[in-house]
A and B are shown apart, each in its own frame.
Chain A
């Protein structure tokens, strides 16, 4: 177990190194600078700016500086937003993204399992077709289209929920739903197929034969086993929910981290790009690790010694 975790931590460090290096060199190659604007700067001013942020150093010095700052988790001051430290920016905006993400995850898992169970129980009957259609729609509608439609109809036309902003729980319903829908569809599909598989297994037949009700069987027997694949999906789900929020945050004007990440790239705000990328990567890498560990606890068939898969 400990060996497994150590091994995985090593991968995380290696992956982080790859990410930092990749990001650094991509940013080096990318034309542009954080100080560029339509009105070009006198060369002297530009030089002063470059010097202030150490951009006049040769690339290997800058690369070393980046590695050091990454290791210390101190990414320095934003080059675009004057006087603001990257760490502060992340600390302010991440809780918002996280809240939205968790809400979306709960929605996705809750609704996904519900739809999955119902469709499996009424296999090839009306609820199955309805549920499957919902799941398929969820998977196949891009979130930005859904977000736009929700905002227009639910927010503006029917006046049910606020159009945008982030001032309380009610503001988070539409964005969370827009993020959750795709994942809800996937989870519903997963649950449905693994429930069907379980339903044809001997122990379920036995339980039903003993006279247990349909739903009792579900809760007492099938669901627990059918949920295993959902647990494996939690890692990618978390990653998807957190990164999938870029667009939704933009559409609903939510001051989360996703917006910073995208704008920092278009602004060439090097320090913020590096900070947000490393931060996101760490979160995602650990999310996957934690899910794998949990999975090991739930499913005794998996051993975590890290043997050949």
Chain B
């Protein structure tokens, strides 16, 4: 490109910036005919970070399912080799009680992911129910329900979670309850917003005139349309639940031993940083990588779903 311009007066290079090709311009024409979800998928696939995140999640999930199942060791078996560094026999080393960290880390993945997913699902159920009822009913009911939500958002989350966990006793179920106790409010808000905007559309009105009841409208019309927003909120709830779980584990409120979660393992390992660093490093890396992956996928989904970002 530049060689052919030798006879022109010199123009300093930094007056120009390369803004990149506009290949997507041409794609756009073709995209017009594809369905919404296909389009979303295509856009999601264009997001490298999101794809990386997506594959990380698949790998983590597969490992969590298969490693504890196939491994010769169990997560609680004490093998008599204490604080051994990573080796061929124990890929991630062993901990202070002589347990294989590789197995424990993936067993911990089950627990941490289970906590995250459960919290997200509970948020989903309460949030969708609350949000859509408020949105559909409108008027006074909506007002009261949303004011309750407002007050709940004002309650400092961590204070409640800590007090609640102490009262309920550390454990898997209490942890999930504590994590989802105020989390659903956000979901409810988003769903309500979607419902309000969809409610007024013609097709819902048509369904109503045809005699469809509320449940039918929620299930057949509102949920599919609000699905995108709900999905994004869920993918972003899971990492924050995993994050909070590790935080609570550090305060001694994590799942009870010998069960392992990433949070309890990392906080145990935190004291061994200078003597047996592998006890901290592996769970810490997994926490970070997984949170990163969920965030990447969540962001990717949001970008893919948000029509404003269509270029």
Contact = CB atoms under 8 A, between A and B. Distances in A.
A140 B289 contact: yes
Contacts, number: 115
Contact of B155 (A139, A142, A148, A281): A281
B5 interface: no
B1 interface: no
A284 B158 CA distance: 12
A18 B155 contact: yes
Nearest to A211: B15
Given A19-B155, A144-B267, A26 B163 contact: yes
A142 B266 contact: yes
A11 B156 contact: no
Contacts of A244: 158
Contacts of B290: 140
Nearest to A23: B163
Interface in B250-268: 250-251, 263, 266-267
Nearest to A214: B17
A29 interface: yes
B311 to A, nearest CB: 7
Interface residues of B, number: 46
Contacts of B296: 136
A280 B159 CA distance: 9
A201 B141 CA distance: 40
A237 to B, nearest CB: 14
B167 A26 contact: yes
Contacts of B287: 140-142, 145
Interface string A95-136: 000000000000000000000000000001000000010001
Contacts of B166: 30, 265-266
A282 to B, nearest CB: 10
Contacts of A200: 311
Interface of B: 17, 20, 49, 147, 150-152, 154-160, 162-164, 166-167, 193, 239, 243, 246-247, 250-251, 263, 266-267, 270, 273-274, 280, 284, 287-292, 295-296, 299, 308-309, 311
Given A11-B147, A265-B166, A281-B154, 4 more contacts: A11-B154, A30-B166, A142-B247, A189-B299
21 contacts: A11-B154, A22-B160, A26-B164, A27-B163, A27-B167, A30-B166, A30-B167, A137-B292, A140-B239, A140-B288, A141-B288, A142-B246, A143-B247, A144-B266, A145-B280, A148-B280, A243-B157, A243-B158, A262-B162, A277-B159, A280-B156
